[in-house]
Amino acid sequence: MFPGPPADPATPTAGSMPSAAPPAAEAARTPGGATGAASARRAWTAPLLLGCAGVLALCIALFGPGLMARGTGELRIPGAGLTTVLRTVLFAALALHLGELLAPQLIRPVRGRPRTAVRSWAVFASLAGAAAAAGQIVRLAAVSDLGITETYGTREGGLLLLIANGLVVAALCAASRRPALALAPLAVVIGAEALRAHPEAYSPEFGAALTVVHLTAASLWTGGLLYVLRTLWLWRGSPAAARALLGRYARLAIWLYAALAATGTASALRRLPLDVVPTSAYGRTLLLKLALMAVVSVLAVAARRRMLRDTDPSAACRLARREQVVLGLVVVVSAVLTVVPDPHWISLRP
């Protein structure tokens, strides 16, 4: 008989068969496993951070007016926390709807872009804004001890009714085949909100005009960025198109920032006497808003630099997402500004 073939030294025998390593431990020792673990951490970290930001925003809205007015001697505003929440919803609705009208104009000229599009939130946003305006009418009626019909006859109640109806019409336009028609009712809503925010006797028309520009620019910046970021998530497989879209938005954001800075400065100088900046709720809230806007500015500049330097827009997108979160907090603080008392009476006290 012929002997069999020699045993292959690379082939393990039954007695020398190594025990199988646990899959989890093996994955942890490989680079791919480390990458997967990092991806898993990012998958739950982002929702956690967004949830924390949402809780912080709600706390600012509910307790911010009272905290800012503590120790100032100013009159207490009934239901200030609830009013701030409702106005935050209203401002967010304007931003979402106007952003959806603006961003497609930035997307359309991008060459080589994917044909995927984000789902519209305009109808839901406008209906939520209309509900927030209606809630303010109910709160005003309760505080003033008036009926709903009688509240419509007041200046603020009539303007809030106009805002609610305008947002309902904007929602109907968004659900139609010509969503751009929503621009008209949204313009009416912004004008009515600007008039409502300036009941003071000193040059209310000038203040309302500043608010129209300021609120429009802020809504386009915040809502436009959100729509762009949602689109970039769909385009993450096309970095060239994503980088082009982010660049187009960044160029527009420069002009929006300039409009915000100019109108915000003029409004602050007009409404806030310098001697009560640290001792009034309005002054303290404005300082907080300026601090948040400084953070937004740093993040926006950093995102633009990374976009110009890197061919991969992922780092710039991460910075832009952080900018979006801080902008959300700015919206809440802006709502607080519309609720706290006018600081002029403190400056005029003997």
Share of the chain above pLDDT 90, in %: 57
pLDDT for the residue numbered 208: 92
pLDDT of 18: 43
pLDDT value, residue 43: 61
User: Do 330 and 56 form a contact (C-beta atoms < 8 A)?
Assistant: no
Q: 181: which DSSP letter?
A: G
Q: Is residue 309 pLDDT above 50, yes or no?
A: yes
- Strand locations in 275-330 (E): none
Q: What is the pLDDT of residue 73?
A: 79
What burial class does residue 161 get, using C-beta atoms within 10 Å of its C-beta: 0-12 exposed, 13-18 middle, 19+ buried? buried
Per-residue pLDDT band at 46 (split at 50, 70, 90): low
pLDDT at 217 over 60: yes
pLDDT at residue 78 in the model: 83
pLDDT in tens, 96-132: 999 999 999 999 999 888 988 899 999 999 999 999 9
Q: Which residue has the higher pLDDT, 23 or 125?
A: 125
Q: What is the pLDDT of residue 40?
A: 54
pLDDT value at position 262?
Answer: 96
- Residue 26 is predicted with a pLDDT of 43
Confidence of residue 348 (pLDDT cuts 50, 70, 90): low
Share of the chain above pLDDT 70, in %: 85
pLDDT of 273 higher than 60: yes
Residue 112 is predicted with a pLDDT of: 86
Residues 6+ apart with CB under 8 A from 332: 57, 60, 61, 64, 84, 88
Mean pLDDT score, 274-300: 92
Highest mean pLDDT among 49-58, 109-118, 211-220 belongs to 211-220
**Would the pLDDT of 164 be above 90?**
yes
Per-residue pLDDT averaged across 16-28, rounded?
A: 43
**For position 269, what pLDDT does the model report?**
87
Check whether 191 has a pLDDT greater than 80: yes
Instruction: Give the number of other Cβ atoms within 10 Å of residue 9's Cβ.
Output: 6
Give the pLDDT confidence score for residue 347 in this predicted structure.
61
Mean pLDDT taken over the chain = 85
C-alpha–C-alpha distance, residues 210 and 190, integer Å: 11
Least confident range of 69-83, 134-148, 241-255, 336-350: 336-350
Residue 167 pLDDT grade (very low, low, confident, very high; cuts 50, 70, 90): very high
More confident: 114 or 345? 114
Q: Per-residue pLDDT averaged across 205-232, rounded? A: 94
Rounded-to-integer distance, Cα 95 and Cα 100, Å = 8
- What is the C-alpha to C-alpha distance for residues 309 and 303, in angstroms, rounded to an integer? 10
